[in-house]
Amino acid sequence: MPLKNRRDVPGVITYSPAFTLVPTYECFNRCTYCNFRQDPGGSRWLSLTAAQQQLQQFPAGSLCEVLILSGEVHPRSPRRRSWVDHIYRLCDLALSLGFLPHSNVGPLTVGEMERLARVNVSMGLMLEQMTPRLMETVHRQAPSKRPDLRLAQIQQAGQLGIPFTTGLLLGLGETPADWRDTLQTIAQVQRQWGHIQEVILQPYQPGSREVRGAPGFCAQDLVSVVELARDLLPEEIALQIPPNLIQDEALLRRCLQAGATDLGGLGPIDQVNPDYPHPHLGRLERLLDQWGFQLRPRLPVYPQFESRLPVALQRALQPWKQQFAAKGVSPSPSALPNQAPSFRGR
């Protein structure tokens, strides 16, 4: 039987109320489109005290997800171990303050991934594009972006049973045949492991700090990619589009009508695309309402994967599930037994 997700509730579009912590901007890769990275040694690591201050500036209950996005320390660097340890401690801190971590910090060894999975309710890594041609262009100085390596990461997460987010970065110089190839690859992994909760369709938009400076992904084409993705991916995978990178409201509407059901992490700033502020939540809600959709918050782990998580992480979800349910968000079918006391002990 196919797994269920919020697509079973017609017209509901989800988002995750999120704040991003950046352990470090230093990165040994040089993706030419990156507006985030700094040279190794040029970025101090985020201290636990500073992280706590950042997290405590928000009223309790206002943001649920802590998205951990990091620049990468080389796999053979003597500093690698402390980098992973530090990410672990930041996730642990976020959990202790009641938040739910989702980490996307680049490729990890099986040991590193397994360790971070203990303190993350889901994890992510963009496949970007499967074509190796990009290793000659935008990824020429980015060894972490080798498609075979990234595909192996997604499979490794499947083997470890980690609820996972992946996606395509669009507009890197790939062809429509490449989109199909990348989406088919994700579909195949899902049929093997079944751990993919959502696929992000991320249109490249130029930023002020990158070296690439190419024109952004044609917004019209995003609608075709959403349609293609809906056609090729198993239906339990949600399609996420970032509303801040789609300037044209009519196109946002067409993407939703074509089958996108999620707007991703929405919060104070998009650290990856700092030139593109997220739209105001109230405005999004009104727009979606006009178009016949309802905007609803969700957890960073999708309902069908909750029961796979370690018990301590399942416990951390409960206050948020209660809060979202009190706001009138209908619980998912898989959440019901935990939420309704009358079901307990039967």
Ligand X SMILES: O=c1nc2n(C[C@H](O)[C@H](O)[C@H](O)CO)c3cc(O)ccc3cc-2c(=O)[nH]1
Ligand Y SMILES: C[C@H]1O[C@@H](n2cnc3c(N)ncnc32)[C@H](O)[C@@H]1O
Contact by Cβ (8 Å): 303, 332 = yes
Residue 117 contacts residue 160 (beta carbons within 8 Å): yes
Can you tell me the distance from the alpha carbon of 40 to that of 34, in angstroms, rounded to the nearest whole number?
A: 15
- Is residue 8 a contact partner of residue 236, using CB atoms and an 8 Å limit? no
Q: How far is the CB of 198 from ligand X (least distance, A)?
A: 6
Q: Please give the Cα distance from 39 to 115 (Å, whole number).
A: 27
Judged by CB under 6 A, the residue of 185, 205, 304, 332 near ligand Y is: 205
Q: Phi, psi (5° rounding) for residue 122?
A: -160, 165
- Is 266 one of the binding residues for ligand Y (CB under 6 A)? no
Q: Is 207 one of the binding residues for ligand Y (CB under 6 A)?
A: yes
Give me the residues paired with residue 295 across strands: 13
Q: How far is CA 54 from CA 21, 66, 90, 272, in A?
A: 8, 11, 12, 18
* In the complex, least distance from residue 170 CB atom to ligand X, rounded to whole angstroms: 12
In terms of CB distance, is 217 or 293 closer to ligand Y? Answer: 217
CB 202, min distance to ligand Y, A: 5
User: Binding site annotation covers 255?
Assistant: no
- Report the SS3 class of residue 164: strand
Nearer to ligand X, 79 or 244 (CB): 244
Sign of torsion over alpha carbons 89, 276, 215, 262 = positive
Q: Which residues, numbered 272-291, are part of the site for ligand Y (CB under 6 A)?
A: 272-273
Binding to ligand SF4 by CB under 6 A, coded x per residue (else -) over 78-107, reads ----------------------------x-
The rounded distance, in Å, linking the Cα atoms of 310 and 322 is: 19
Using CA atoms, how far residue 179 sits from 74, 138, 182, 283, 323, in Å, is 29, 17, 5, 31, 38
Mask: binding to ligand X, 94-113, rule CB under 6 A, as x and -?
Answer: --------x-x---------
Are 74 and 108 contacting, i.e. CB atoms less than 8 angstroms apart?
no
Residue with tokens 């209660």: 322
To the nearest 10 degrees (0 to 180), the angle between helices 80-96 and 48-56 is: 30
Minimal distance, residue 260 CB to ligand Y, in Å: 16
In three-state secondary structure terms, 177 is helix
Could you tell me which stretch among 10-18, 99-107, 193-201, 320-328 binds ligand MET (CB under 6 A)? 99-107
The Cα diameter of the chain in Å comes to: 61
* CB 172 within 8 Å of CB 221: no
Binding ligand Y (rule: CB under 6 A), the pick from 16, 202, 261, 332 is 202
Run of H or E residues at 192: helix 176-193
Which of 16, 104, 153, 197 lies at the binding interface for ligand MET (CB under 6 A)? 104
Q: Which does 332 bind (CB under 5 to 8 A by kind): ligand MET, ligand SF4, ligand Y, none?
A: none
Q: Footprint of ligand Y on residues 299-338 (CB under 6 A)?
A: none
CB 21, min distance to ligand X, A: 12
Residue nearest to ligand X (CB): 124
**Is 91 annotated as ligand-binding?**
no
Give, for 110, the enclosing helix (H) or strand (E).
helix 110-117
Q: How far is the CB of 71 from ligand SF4 (least distance, A)?
A: 4
Q: Of ligand X, ligand SF4, ligand Y, none, which one sits near residue 67, judging by CB under 5 to 8 A according to partner kind?
A: ligand X
Q: Which of 106, 207, 242, 303 binds ligand MET (CB under 6 A)?
A: 106
Q: Establish if 45 lies at the interface with ligand SF4 (CB under 6 A).
A: no
Residues that bind ligand X (CB under 6 A): 16, 18, 65, 67, 102, 104, 122, 124, 126, 165, 198, 200, 240, 264-265, 270, 272, 300
Residues that bind ligand SF4 (CB under 6 A): 27, 29-31, 34, 36-37, 71-72, 106, 142, 144
Residues that bind ligand MET (CB under 6 A): 36, 69, 71-72, 104-106, 125-126, 272
